[in-house]
Structure formats: C-alpha cells, structure tokens
Amino acid sequence: MTRGLYSFILYLLSPLVVMYLAFRSIKSPDYRYRWGERFGVTRLSQSDVLIHSVSMGETLAAIPLIKNLMAAYPDSTFTITTTSPTGSAEVAKAFSEQLGKRVQHCYLPFDFSVCVKRFLGQVQPKLFIIMETELWPNLVHYAKLSKARIVLANARLSAKSAAKYEKQSKLSTPMLTSLDAIAVQTKLEAERFESLGVNPEKLVVCGSLKFDLQIDESKHQQAKTLRQQWQKIDVPVWVAGSVHPGEFEIMLKAHEQVLAEYPQALLIMAPRHPEQFNVAAVATTQHGLSLSRRSMNEAVTEQTQVLLGDTMGELLMLYGAADYAFIGGTLIENGGHNPLEPAAMGLPVSVGPHHWDFSEITALLDQAGGLSVVEGADSLAKQLLLMFADKQQHQLAAQACLTVVSQNKGALAQQLQLIESQLQLSNCKES
C-alpha cells in the first residue's frame, strides 16, 4: 500500500472515525470535548519543538525529557500533543505554569492529510520528537516536507510490529527512512529497524526512559500512611494494575484463593481505562467480595477485600502501598503495560504470556528473579501465596527489581544528547 492509497482509504473511513469518537464519548465523557483539535481545527502559534506522546504512560516518560530541554533552551517554545484525555491531563498538570507562555498543548489531529497540513502549517516546528513508535505516514511525510528534523525517541519495535511494517513496506519504508534519528531502547529493536531499511547511522541504543523514573519521596510516605490507615500492615496487599476486561474475573478468582489462606488480604484492582471502572465494580460485587471505591473515598476496613483504584494518577502510589503487583493487558492479547513502575517501588511482579510490548524489560526482570510469568488465576494465586508465605524469597525478588531499575538508568541523558544534536542541526540549517 502506498501513502496515496492509504490517504484515500482513510478518507473513505472518515465516517467510522467520527463514530469511533462518538462511541468513546459514551464510554468516557472526556472524549466528548475538543473534537476540533482532532481534525486540525486549532489556532496555534509557531513553536521551535513539537513533541508527541500518546497516552498517560508515554507522557509521564516524556515529561522529564521535555523539562530538561526547556531548561537547556530557555528561549525555545514547545508544542506538546497527546491522543488521550489521560495524557492531556498529565501535560496540563506538569506544565501548568508554562501553558500559554512557552508551552502550548492540543490533541494530535487524525492522519488525514488536510488536517495534518493545517496543524503543521501553524506550528512549523524546527524539531519534531515522536515518543516511542507513534508513527503516522502523513504526519511524518508533511513534517519532513516542512523541513523539520524528526527524532523518534524512546523507540520500541516489537517483533509483531516489525512484521506489520514489513508487510506494508511501500507505506512504512518511506516513513521510517524519513526519520533523522532514532533513540531506540534495545539492540534487538535497533536490528529490527535496520532490517526495515533504516540507516544504522541513524540508530542509537539508549535504553528506556522509563528506567529513569523519578519517584517523589512523598509518594512513598503517602503509601505508607495509607497502609496504616487501612490497618493492613501485617496482612497481604497486592495490586492488579492496568487490568482490562477479560482480566477482572481472573484477578478476582486469584484473590479468592488468597483469601482462603489470608482472610484479611486486600486486592487493589486498577482498571486501565476509566470507562471500565463501573464494570470492574460490578464484577467484584457479583463475586460476593466486599468492595471499597477509591474515587468515593470509601474507607478500607478490616472487612474490605477489594479496593477499586478508580482514580487517575494514583497507581504509582498504590503500588507503594502493596507487597506484590500483577501487570494487566498480559492475560489477553493486548501486549501489556510497563512493569517498571511497581519494580521501581520495590515490588515483585507477575505478568501474563502476552507481554510483547515490554518483552525486553520483562526479560530483564525475569532473569534477575524479580518477575514471574503466569497463565491464569490458579498460577497467579500460587505465585502470590508463595511470595506471601516466604518473606525471604519476597525480599530477594523485590531487591532484584530495584537492582534492574538502578542498573539501567541513564537513558534520559543519552536521549537528551541525541535530541540536542538534532536541534542544533536544525538551528544551523535555519541560520
């Protein structure tokens, strides 16, 4: 498929795009607003640097990078885009003092050529930083035509994604070869990019920005205080983080097995998407388990068996209040989510078999002894009971996770160096 054919098909599918937004708006009210931005209907100022991240996880990883760039280039202006309301909220929170001054923010428009051209015509960036692998053919094409230098930062490329790119090489190869530099997370992923036609001179293995997670001491203190308030100091507490429909039942069945051994144990279940909060609550009550909802400030008592983490931005702190974590999106064919947050909080971790989006990170934690792969409710319950019964084994696994995170820090400095070199080249070209 060529880019022209891709654009034609995209226009044919435009009614479905509107239907998608409407459907998401029903499930998640935050999607009801700012539709104009998604079609490039904006009034934006010219910015020196354009940074795009997708959702909350990518945005949190990007924030330290952006703040360091802002400090290094105090006269430069920045446009930050996301695609999800959760990512947008993180941008608003992190850059509240700069918004309207050095920073402007909006949703990235859909990849319709007319929308992308209108958006880029307003922003006119010298440097365009795309986080991870959020690549869109028209976006990259028109950014290149506008003479912006394009950096793919914190880049990931799973074997599954590489195979998809290879099948659509007429569309993907021009897009990938248009990139000026790629800060890739691992050597294996660099090899995948190279096999797709990327010049190896453009590839720099930097590691993952997510290893450079900075955890405020206040989060540790808040977590400790919560655990004391819950009166769960001496009983097991575990988190099922970023879980999806299809996994709620598995988590609850595993917890029922834990409760058979530890009747006062607590499961903190945090669905990935806000529109699934009520679904998770219903599933819990249908299992006959005692439920408290974090969003309603309902007290966690000795009788509480499940705390629903139905708030945004608190998951890292909730990990800190627990002894063990399961990472969602891995017992369904989703690809999984980042296991580094609980690992950085000193928690042993379990994932399901479908963790390809974080396969290298998962492998590091597994090899160190801090992570286990489970197949379902029974194997998860078995792992939980093993860790809760053997304090020494739990401590060794927790320390293994902390060691992996510590040993792999440094990606932020390396990626900053690469990005600054590209920004300097863009400035030289302009002058």
On whether both 90 and 103 belong to a single domain, the answer is yes
We report the CATH number of the domain holding residue 254 as: 3.40.50.2000
On whether both 139 and 125 belong to a single domain, the answer is yes
Report pLDDT for 253.
98
On whether both 182 and 82 belong to a single domain, the answer is yes
Contact 332, 247 (CB under 8 A): yes
On whether both 385 and 259 belong to a single domain, the answer is yes
Residue type, 236: P
On whether both 230 and 242 belong to a single domain, the answer is yes
As for how many domains the chain has, the answer is 2
Report pLDDT for 28.
80
Contact 400, 368 (CB under 8 A): yes
On whether both 328 and 181 belong to a single domain, the answer is no
Active site residue 90: no
Side by side, the strands of the sheet bearing 349-351 are 291-293, 306-308, 266-271, 237-243, 324-327, 349-351, 371-373
**Catalytic annotation, pick one of 37, 58, 90, 134:** 58
Does 11 fall in a domain? no
Contact 340, 406 (CB under 8 A): no
On whether both 333 and 223 belong to a single domain, the answer is yes
On whether both 120 and 195 belong to a single domain, the answer is yes
We report the CATH number of the domain holding residue 121 as: 3.40.50.11720
On whether both 421 and 273 belong to a single domain, the answer is no
What is the pLDDT tens value at each position of the chain, 431 positions in all? 899 999 999 999 999 999 989 988 887 888 889 999 999 999 999 999 999 998 888 898 899 999 999 999 999 999 999 999 989 999 999 999 999 899 999 999 999 999 999 999 999 999 999 998 889 999 999 999 999 999 999 999 988 899 999 999 999 999 999 999 999 998 999 999 999 999 999 999 999 998 988 888 888 999 999 999 998 999 999 999 999 999 999 999 999 999 999 999 999 999 998 889 999 999 999 999 999 999 999 999 989 999 999 998 899 999 999 999 999 999 999 999 989 999 999 999 999 999 988 888 999 999 999 999 999 999 999 999 999 999 999 999 999 999 999 999 999 999 999 999 999 888 766 65
Report pLDDT for 429.
60
On whether both 374 and 235 belong to a single domain, the answer is yes
Phi, psi of 214 (to 5 degrees): -100, 115
Residue 339: domain span: 217-407
On whether both 250 and 396 belong to a single domain, the answer is yes
pTM of this structure: 0.83
Report pLDDT for 216.
82
Does 109 fall in a domain? yes
